[in-house]
Amino acid sequence: MQEELIKHILNCLTDHYQDDVKLLSIHPVTGGDINEAYCLDTSSGKLMMKLNSRSKYAEMFEREAQGLAAIRSSRTIAVPEVIIYGHHHDDSYLIMQWIESRRATREASKLLGIQLAAMHRNTASAFGFKHHNYMGSISQSNRRHYKWSEFFVQERLMPMVKIARNKSLLEEKDIADIEQLCQRLPQLFDEEAPALIHGDLWGGNYLISADGKPYLIDPAVSYGHREFDISMTTLFGGFERAFYDAYQDAFPLAQDWEERTDLWNLYPLLLHLNLFGLSYLGQVRSSIKRYL
């Protein structure tokens, strides 16, 4: 990391804390496929820092900070405190509270389910959000709609289809099948009131702190159908049975919700197709076929 960038960040932290902040050590941590991530050990304590290119991902960290703020304002489930975010030349950075994490226990998984259910009770007048954001490294539109079926088609599925078509990742038959599925979509589920959802809730986007407290990280928030969040928890694993049981006790889903996990997961699968290539095409096609 450039010394000039470190100096800039330390100056910003000094302004934030109104105290001279010194860097004791810095080391990289796993931070996914998009951002560089570091643990900063400073005279003011440990901090989490994420870095990316401002020219490639304009406003990514600002949108992440706003998503964390939306979850925090629900007063239901913890998120890391955002300390500062900004840019220096082409480097964008986001610095947050460092969470010492541990493996989820049954009790922590139950609490995660209860608190997520409470978050999902936060509603709005329409599906969408006050600003666009990102899911992974792909920009995500959050234009408002009054029906989840319209929002899911126009702001989720079809933008991914457009990208995949431009990359020659989908054949015309695939696109025709998706369009047919979009026409059938209103018949496949019951509309619900919009719920505040995390939007990218796979097993790597929650933490359990050392004292057993659940935290959500890396949100792609919107007001959406809460089945979307729960469905995505099933896509890559990482959630205990206790999580689902506790959620159901707190805020029961429709009886047949498990029949639609592949339906809602079509969006993250298309996104992964666009990000990582044809290895996801088989799953995309299987999901589509199930609902035609």
Q: Which of 105, 85, 104 is nearest to 95 (CA)?
A: 85
CB atoms within 10 A of CB 15: 11
Please state the rounded mean pLDDT for residues 188-197. 97
Report d(CA 122, CA 139) in Å as an integer: 24
pLDDT at residue 30, rounded to an integer: 81
Please state the rounded mean pLDDT for residues 195-212. 97
Please state the rounded mean pLDDT for residues 95-118. 97
pLDDT at residue 34, rounded to an integer: 83
Q: What is the mean pLDDT of the chain?
A: 96
Q: What percent of the chain has pLDDT over 90?
A: 97
Domains 3-97 and 101-290 share a fold: no
CB atoms within 10 A of CB 187: 8
Report d(CA 264, CA 232) in Å as an integer: 8
Q: What angle do CA 179, 182, 185 make, to 5 degrees?
A: 155
Which CATH number, 3.90.1200.10, 3.30.750.24, 3.40.309.10, 2.160.10.10, labels domain 101-290? 3.90.1200.10
Q: What is the pLDDT of residues 222-279, one digit of tens each?
A: 999 999 999 999 999 999 999 999 999 999 999 999 999 999 999 999 999 999 999 9
Outline where 101-171 has alpha helix (H): 106-120, 148-151, 158-166
Q: What is the pLDDT of residues 208-232, one digit of tens each?
A: 999 999 999 999 999 999 999 999 9
Q: Which of 177, 200, 218, 229 is catalytic?
A: 200
As given in the structure block, the two tokens for residue 32 are: 């996914």
Range of lowest pLDDT (55-59, 151-155, 230-234, 274-278) = 55-59
Please determine, for residue 1, whether its predicted confidence score (pLDDT) is greater than 70.
Answer: no
**Higher-confidence position of 2 and 180:** 180
pLDDT at residue 31, rounded to an integer: 63
CB atoms within 10 A of CB 84: 18
- pTM for the structure as a whole: 0.96
The CATH class, in words, for 3-97 is alpha beta
**Higher-confidence position of 76 and 33:** 76
Please state the rounded mean pLDDT for residues 176-201. 98
Contact predicate 54/92, CB 8 Å: yes
Query: Quick check: is 20 catalytic?
Result: no
Domain boundaries, the chain: 3-97, 101-290
